[in-house]
Amino acid sequence: MNRFGLPPQILRLVLLTALIVGTYAVARTLLTPATFGQYGHYRGAALEETASRKPLFAGAKACDECHSDVSEKATKGHKLISCESCHSASSAHVRNPDITTVKLTDNSCLRCHSSDPARPARHKQVTTIEHYPGDHCIECHLPHQPNKSP
C-alpha cells in the first residue's frame, strides 16, 4: 500500500498506460503535418504545392495587351479560337517578346481542317490532294481572317 491507497501492481499499470498514451499524444502532435485537417483528412498545404507550378499557356487575355489589333480584326471561324491554340504555349513570349513564338506550317492548319469522317460535318474540312496541293494555306487564306485572301 502506498499513499494513493492502490496496490503497487495497479499503480504500475496506471503509470504505464499514462506513459503510452502520453508518448502517443506527443508523437502525434509532432508528426502530424501542420496543415493536416485544414480542409479535410489530408494535408492542406498539398493544395498550395499543387498550385505552385508556373503556367506555360499565358491565356487569351494576355495577348490582347500588345496584339489587340489581331484579335479585333479576327473574323468568324477563327475569332473564337484562343491565340495559343495555333501559336502554342507563349508565356515566355509574353514575359519577353524577344523570345519568338513557334513557327507555323501548313500542318498546323491541317490538324484542324484535314477531312476525317469522325469530325462533325458542319466543321469545314479540306482534302489535301484536292484543295490546291503544292500551295501554302496562308498564300490564299489570312490566318486570322481565313475567309479573306491576302
Binding positions for other proteins, rule: CB under 8 A = 1, 5-7, 34-35, 37-48, 50-57, 59-60, 80-82, 84-85, 89, 111-112, 114, 116-120, 123
Distance CA 112, CA 141 (A): 15
Joined grid coordinates for residue 2: 502506498
Minimum Å gap between C-beta 150 and other proteins is: 22
Minimum Å gap between C-beta 41 and ligand HEC is: 40
How would you class 84 by CB atoms within 10 Å of its CB: exposed for 0-12, middle for 13-18, buried for 19 or more? buried
Report which DSSP code applies to 54. P
Residue whose entry in the numeric block shows the C-alpha cell 492542406: 44
Partner whose footprint covers residue 138, from ligand HEC, other proteins, none (CB < 5 to 8 Å by kind): ligand HEC
Joined grid coordinates for residue 70: 489581331
Exactly one of 35, 36, 104, 115 binds ligand HEC (CB under 6 A); that residue is 104
Residue 138 found at the interface with ligand HEC (CB under 6 A):
yes
The 10 Å Cβ neighbour count of residue 39 is 11
Task: Report the residue number, 56 or 99, with the smaller CB distance to other proteins.
Answer: 56
- 16 near 24, Cβ under 8 Å? no
Paired residues of 126 in beta bridges: 114
Residues lying near ligand HEC in the complex (CB under 6 A) are found at 58, 62-63, 65-67, 70-71, 74, 76-78, 81, 83-87, 90, 93-94, 97, 100-101, 103-104, 106, 108-113, 123-124, 126, 128, 131-132, 135, 137-141, 143-144, 146-147
